[in-house]
Amino acid sequence: MNTEKVRCLIIGSGPAGFTAAIYTSRANLSPVLYEGIEPGGQLTTTTEIENFPGYPEGISGQAMMEDLKRQALRFGADVRRGTITKAELGSRPFRITVDNDKVIEAESVIISTGATAKYLGLESEMRYRGAGVSACATCDGFFYRKKVVAVVGGGDTACEEATYLASLCRKVYMIVRKDYLRASKAMQQRVNDTENIEVLYGCNTQEILGDEEGVTGARLVRNDGTTFTIDIAGFFLAIGHHPNSELFAGQLELDQEGYIKTVPGTSKTNIEGVFAAGDVKDPHYRQAITAAGSGCIAALDCERFLLANNA
């Protein structure tokens, strides 16, 4: 198999990966970045980003990712199409296989493969993605000011997103499949104390309704089989995220949900020379700006590691 030696390999092309590429290329580490199956990452599926510092007018997710990529290319990062299909991290250089037909021998690896929001799997959900269906209230909530929206899920994320949306929207429904919330007591209290949140217990979504403008409602089914419709302009998924860490299971330490564990305050994993950044290691914040910050941390950790090891 075709083999290539690389000093610094970056896996993933969201804000964490591209920030790591900007820093490592400016530090002359000649990084190679593989974009993966979703070039640009999750941000390319959101509409407008208005909370990333430095963009007073906002910027589309797509445009931001193109800018980040151009910035990395400007300093010489080698950005490539391709998906990592195997990672052998047992000894250095690490052996990383791309698209099953090429092996990269990497002195260091920065993993920024992100996380994927879970969706219900409805056909109508796909139809209105970006047109009323969103998996990120912090990103998209602002577009639903004074409107009625729904949040699916009964965990901490759903409660947090519902209370956030309640501060912007006229009314927020929470669609909860059990007859109780799984969230912490404190989060439940916040939901209960918020007047414009109505929790619909024991309900599942059968279909998201809409027209050419976007979402107009949802048909729900109660656990007894009866159905009813709610009128909403936005439908927010908050049923969990899935970190994209499968390739590294059994080699890197992962937490119960599959997030890569790092030494607190750093990007260091349990394997020296392997660093993690962005949503693949972050179950809590999941913002573009925090991912970018952790990409910077990974680049600095990586640079120090390579220097210390004369690699």
Task: Assess 154 for contact with ligand NDP (CB under 6 A).
Answer: yes
Query: Please, what's the largest Cα pairwise distance for the chain?
Result: 67
C-beta closer to ligand NDP: residue 31 or 283:
283
Q: Which of 8, 140, 279, 301 is catalytic?
A: 140
Task: Assess 156 for contact with ligand NDP (CB under 6 A).
Answer: yes
C-beta closer to ligand NDP: residue 9 or 162:
162
Please indicate whether residue 8 is annotated as part of the active site.
no
Task: Assess 240 for contact with ligand NDP (CB under 6 A).
Answer: yes
Q: Quick one: which segment of 14-22, 99-107, 152-160, 191-199 binds ligand NDP (CB under 6 A)?
A: 152-160
Smallest separation (angstroms) from ligand NDP to the CB of 162 = 11
Task: Assess 135 for contact with ligand NDP (CB under 6 A).
Answer: no
Selected from 73, 120, 131, 200, the binder of ligand NDP by CB under 6 A is 120
Please indicate whether residue 136 is annotated as part of the active site.
yes
Selected from 158, 162, 232, 298, the binder of ligand NDP by CB under 6 A is 158
Alpha carbons within 13 angstroms on the beta-carbon side of residue 236 total 30
Task: Assess 243 for contact with ligand NDP (CB under 6 A).
Answer: no
Task: Assess 160 for contact with ligand NDP (CB under 6 A).
Answer: yes
Q: Which of 67, 78, 99, 139 is catalytic?
A: 139
C-beta closer to ligand NDP: residue 97 or 188:
188
Please indicate whether residue 101 is annotated as part of the active site.
no
**Who contacts 290 (Cβ-Cβ below 8 Å, separation ≥6)?**
282
Smallest separation (angstroms) from ligand NDP to the CB of 241 = 6
Q: Which of 8, 78, 99, 136 is catalytic?
A: 136
C-beta closer to ligand NDP: residue 25 or 205:
205
Task: Assess 161 for contact with ligand NDP (CB under 6 A).
Answer: no
In the complex, which residues of this chain contact ligand NDP (CB under 6 A)? 120, 152-158, 160, 177-178, 182, 239-240, 283-284
